[in-house]
Structure 1
Amino acid sequence: MITRLQAAITAVGGFVPNNILDNTSLEKMVDTSDAWIISRTGIKERRIADADMATSDMAALSVKNLLDNSGVNPEDIELLILATSTPDHVLNPAAALVCEKAGLKNAWGFDLNAACSGFLYALSVGASFIESGKYSKVLVVGADKMSAIVNYEDRNTCVLFGDGAGAVLLGPGTEGAGLQDSFLKSDGHGAQFLSVPAGGSAHPASTATIEEKKHFVQQDGRTVFKNAINGMTAACKEILQRNSLAVADIDWIVPHQANMRIIQAVGEHLSVPIEKIKVNINRYGNTTAATLPLCLWDFHKDFKPGDKILLTAFGAGFTWGSSYLVWGSLMN
């Protein structure tokens, strides 16, 4: 019998800026209130990067945190995949800058944009390099500086987002640990409901696009809300069915941190008690591609070897999916 090599998470790291933007501060910026934000989103505060801190800086700091925690030599890293919707520049891949800033002298890297589902997509891609036997140390990073594309005059979006980065190191799994399965989907019809309308090749930057504030996030909140619940719930059910798992078999669910009401609804649809769902949206807000790895970094001490974990996300595009992994022993 041929045993398939599996990619396991062997180390985790994270970074969030020191600057805290709490709801009380937002009350002074837009027509909103702390009570309204908490009741609608579950967010109490979010971290905001300094003006001179780019996505690559946060990603590099999350990688350095991982390397410090694990004792891994940066020169041993072979590949870095950066999930982000907010690269430093339109043309240059931010992953190359992360490799330089984190001292990954022997690694190559590339960016992957799947919005809030980016980390799930990148995790699957990174796992493939481990499973093929080509590499033994692959970094998967989710990082976004959402404050760079948020309009702080739009109360419907500015309350949601924060900045941050999270990283995981993938290596060959032992004793059954590792990524077991992924179910990933996309639907371009959803692009109209959550996007940054200008700045790309379809609508290049112009005086008009700047004046019309089309370089900021715009969304149809109701449509995104409904599709996020349906998409993540369906993806989790598909993973459970494909792997002959009952909900009771799952030890933890780590969902994308977009909105507490979405997280609660997905849990209810799956009949999962809230105690099994990892949540840190109250402290960080929606950090887009960084939410899942930041949760893994925040809560890794709660995960025991052998724990069965479901990751799930939904984002612009539309993009969504779920991954099932068995937790192993970390280096840190």
Structure 2
Amino acid sequence: MVMRSVIVGCGSYLPARVLTNDDLAKMVDTSDEWITQRTGIRSRHIAAEGEMTSDLALAAAKAALAHGNVAVDELDLIVLATATPDQTFPATAAKVQAALGMTRGAAFDVQAVCSGFIYALSVADNFIKAGQARTVLVIGAETFSRILDWNDRATCVLFGDGAGAVVLRAEEGEGTAADRGILSTHLHSDGRHHDLLYVDGGPSSTQTVGHVRMAGQEVFKHAVVNLAEVVGEALEANGLTPADLNWLVPHQANRRIIENTGRKLKMDPAQVVMTVDHHGNTSAASIPLALCEAVADGRIQRGELVLLEAMGGGFTWGAALVRF
């Protein structure tokens, strides 16, 4: 027998304000056609003034706990993925912990930008496998609108705000690919590509928050290669093939990258969960937002095989194979 991390609850939250491409065209030299053709994005949500990453995370966390019928006092751990914390410290996870009324266990943040949720899921899964936790809340939450240069049309049109969360619970499995839960996680990074996607600020460099800077075409090229490789790695590790997959839930950065990955896996487009058109790129929040949308509308069913994958600044990238 092996210990598996089973997703028992899923929740999400999006800020009320919706910013459309037409709205952006009034702010910078762009158009709905230009943005849609290149990215597939039509609108995104923007956090209200005073609405922080912890607020978004808390709302998603409460929804996930309610969906899984899990009480706060059952939680052993909170792992929160974000590149846009409320403050330099303490961890945003600790603020969520306090707001939930959780007074036991631990809470900390993970920073891997757009791959953050995969990294956080891997950390949580390993805590469960090691017997250090039985019930874990994993959150991806971002207010990327706070680190955008709204005069840079290459980046400000891409990102949005939001949060998604899952509750993992330890359950015994047989150790086969038929088990429910996380079958495996696969993480990678390559710091040599720092200058292709980064924020030009930070406490020890400029003492400012800074703005997102990106070499879009180069990032696109790396994403296509890295995601294909890590997807293959995840399937091979479990003795599975693309034909075994029921769903692909990718990081929502760009429609063309998502469609390219789906084609390489020979998956029906209907099996690829896509929310980039109405969420934009919500970084660490994008995978749980997409997952929870497909669970809520009934597409993803218990027992189905789901592949999660992402790539972000660092570069970081990774995949998780989950039997839901």
Query: What TM-score do the two structures reach when normalised by structure 1?
Result: 0.93
For residues 52-107 of structure 1, give each alpha carbon's deviation from its aligned partner in whole angstroms, at most 9, with x where no partner exists.
01101110111111223333211221110000000011122111101112222324
Coordinate RMSD, CA, aligned: 1.3
SS at match of 2:3: coil
Report if aligned partners of 1:74, 1:105 keep a CA contact under 8 Å in 2: no
Name the counterpart of 2:164.
166
Q: 1:136-175, aligned counterparts within 5 Å?
A: 136-173=134-171
Name the counterpart of 1:311.
308
Instruction: Name segments (4+ residues, structure 1) moved above 6 Å.
Output: none
For residues 190-236 of structure 1, give each alpha carbon's deviation from its aligned partner in whole angstroms, at most 9, with x where no partner exists.
1111010112323333xxxxxxxx81100000111111111111100
Name the counterpart of 2:117.
119
Which runs of 5 or more residues in structure 2 are unaligned? 174-178
Name the counterpart of 1:199.
202
Name the counterpart of 1:104.
102
Report if aligned partners of 2:252, 2:276 keep a CA contact under 8 Å in 1: yes
Q: 1:240-279, aligned counterparts within 5 Å?
A: 240-279=235-274
The range that moved more, 196-205 or 279-288, is: 196-205
| AA at the equivalent of 1:167 | A
Name the counterpart of 2:218.
223
Alpha-carbon distance in 2 for matches of 1:106, 1:13: 22
SS at match of 1:185: strand
Alpha-carbon distance in 1 for matches of 2:61, 2:301: 23
The percentage of counterpart residues that share the same residue type is 40
Alpha-carbon distance in 2 for matches of 1:111, 1:227: 26
Report how far residue 24 of structure 1 moved. Answer: 0.9
Report if aligned partners of 1:99, 1:107 keep a CA contact under 8 Å in 2: no
Alpha-carbon distance in 2 for matches of 1:71, 1:181: 25
Matched, 1:60 2:79: no
Structure 2 counterpart of 1:133, from 131, 134, 138: 131
Which runs of 5 or more residues in structure 1 are unaligned? 206-213, 328-332
Alpha-carbon distance in 2 for matches of 1:141, 1:303: 19
Report how far residue 242 of structure 1 moved. Answer: 2.0
Alpha-carbon distance in 2 for matches of 1:274, 1:232: 17
Report if aligned partners of 2:82, 2:112 keep a CA contact under 8 Å in 1: yes
